[in-house]
Structure formats: C-alpha cells, structure tokens
C-alpha cells in the first residue's frame, strides 16, 4: 500500500509524538509498504531509511505563521498545510490511505475534504493532554481544538490502543466503539524488549530503584505504577525481594494514599 502519515514532529525532534511517528512509519516500511511522512516541524524534504519525510511547516513571519498563534482559528493552519502537501503528493504518486493522530486534528481537512481516506490513530485528546486551564483564551482554544478533533474523528477508520481506550474515545467524540470501523491495535514494543522484560530478574544484592517523573494521571501510567508498587510491597513482605525504593518527582503525598502501607513505606 501507499501510505501517508501526518505528524506534528519527527526525529531528531525529541518527544513521545515524534518517536511514535517514527516507529509507525518505519514498521510500515519494513512490512513492505510505500510510506511518506508529512511533518510540521520543518520545511525540508529528506529520506529516513525507506521513509520519505516531507516538511509542511509554515514560513516564519508569514501570514500563516501569525494566524497560527491566534486562539481557536490558529488550529486550522496545520490541517490546511497538511492537505495542500498531501494533494500535491497524491497527484504525483497516489496514496491508498492517510493516517494521522487525533491530537489537535492534523488530518481535519483531509477527513472533511479528501482527497484520500483518512485513518485517525487515537492517543491523548486535547482535553486531557495538559493541566487544567482557567484563562478564557486557553479555555476557548481548547474547546475549538476538541471540536476539530471530533470532526476529524469522522474519518474512514479509527485506531485505538485498547478496548477501554476505544470506548472512551467513542464517548468523547460521539463515534462508534470497537468494531469494523474502529480497530483496537495494542501499543507495540519490539519483541526482543518484551522478551527481555519477561525474563528479567531482580538485581541480586542491591535494592530495586524506581523513578517516576510526572503528574498522577492515568495517561502517564501512574495507575500502573501504583499497581506495580503493591506487587513489590507484597513480594518484599514475603521475602522474595530484598528491598526496593521509589523516587517520585511531581506527585503530592495525597496521590499515594491509595497505596497499602507495605508499599508506601518505600516511596
């Protein structure tokens, strides 16, 4: 298949979004697909292995760059730039499908106007991707972003990480839950990393050191951390684990109240 992928950033830019974009495109290319990636963090055209990387960024100081900073309507600049680039590439070498994240709806214009079917891969919605906002401008900006995400979710297909994730996306955007149009495809890790993790043993003769940096949010994996601490606490009590220590940055003591005493003593 000839596949296009839209992303706000791509390596060497360092973010979870850019890393995910590279993992997806490289995996598709390794599977034998013809992959072109469109990114807003540059204006150049380059090659990353088998993946063609096409910059869609707006020129600094241009009218588009200035409008992009305006609350609400600024969110239209990226989708419009992506669609222009996709149309030009589609005329040169037609795509079978375009994939885009739901986050701030880069695929909005393609979902509404074509020229290619869009598959939206859901991650964190704009509504839950940052701290609570109180300023009127920020609230308005986020509401517009959420509206555009809802429109973008009217894509030809949707992808979510788990059935629970798909259900929450369906409720938030008013789209079908898991089914023919809404695929559930788990987050992937290289098989060798999964195998090493399953086979790993606790370090002998030294405590298990854990570090968590971030907010106490489900999307940051804080619930998984609490579950892991409970398991470690039980194993330490049973003598299967000598000791463990957790260092937390950015989380209040109240957030640890749900932990049993056996685990809380190590945090």
What residue ranges define each of the domains in the chain, with the CATH number in brackets? 2-184 (3.40.50.2000), 201-264 (no CATH)
For the chain, how are helix, strand and coil distributed in percent, rounded to 5?
45, 20, 40
**pLDDT exceeds cutoff 70 at 89:** yes
How large is the average pLDDT for residues 69-73? 92
Q: How far apart are the first and last CA of the chain?
A: 49
pLDDT at residue number 12: 93
Span 182-223, pLDDT tens digits: 999 876 666 677 788 888 887 777 778 888 887 776 666 777
Q: Is the peptide bond before 57 cis (omega within 30 degrees of 0)?
A: no
Q: How far is CA 47 from CA 54, 86, 170, in A?
A: 9, 17, 36
267 — pLDDT class (breaks 50, 70, 90): low
Higher-scoring residue by pLDDT: 38, 143? 38
Check: CB of residue 101 under 8 Å from CB of residue 120: yes
- Contact yes or no for 152/119 (Cβ under 8 A): no
Mean pLDDT over residues 259-266, rounded?
A: 67
Q: Is 94 exposed, middle or buried (0-12, 13-18, 19+ CB in 10 A)?
A: exposed
Pick the more confident residue, 236 or 147.
Answer: 147
| Mean pLDDT computed over every residue of the chain | 88
């Amino acid at each position: 298949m000839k596949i296009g992928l839209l992303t706000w950033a791509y390596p060497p830019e360092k973010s979870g979004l850019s890393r995910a974009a590279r993992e997806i495109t490289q995996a598709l290319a390794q599977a034998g697909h013809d992959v072109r990636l469109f990114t807003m963090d540059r204006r150049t055209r380059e090659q990353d292995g088998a993946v063609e990387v096409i910059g869609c960024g707006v020129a600094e100081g241009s009218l588009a760059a200035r409008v992009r900073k305006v609350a609400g309507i600024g969110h239209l600049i990226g989708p419009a730039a992506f669609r222009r680039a996709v149309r030009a590439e589609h005329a040169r070498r037609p795509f079978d499908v375009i994939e885009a994240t739901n986050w701030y709806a880069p695929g909005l214009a393609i979902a509404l106007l074509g020229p290619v079917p869009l598959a939206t891969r859901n991650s964190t919605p704009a509504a839950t991707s940052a701290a609570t906002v109180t300023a009127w401008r920020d609230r308005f900006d986020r509401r517009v972003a959420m509206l555009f995400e809802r429109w973008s979710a009217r894509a030809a297909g949707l992808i979510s990480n788990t059935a629970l994730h798909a259900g929450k996306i369906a409720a938030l955007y008013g789209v079908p839950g898991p089914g023919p149009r809404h695929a559930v495809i788990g987050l992937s890790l290289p098989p060798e990393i999964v195998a090493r993790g399953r086979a790993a043993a606790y370090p002998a003769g030294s405590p298990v050191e854990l570090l968590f940096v971030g907010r106490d949010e489900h999307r940051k994996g804080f619930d998984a951390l609490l579950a892991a601490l409970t398991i470690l606490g039980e194993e330490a009590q049973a003598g299967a684990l000598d000791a463990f220590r957790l260092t937390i940055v950015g989380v209040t003591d109240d957030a640890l109240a749900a932990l049993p005493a056996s685990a809380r003593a190590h945090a």
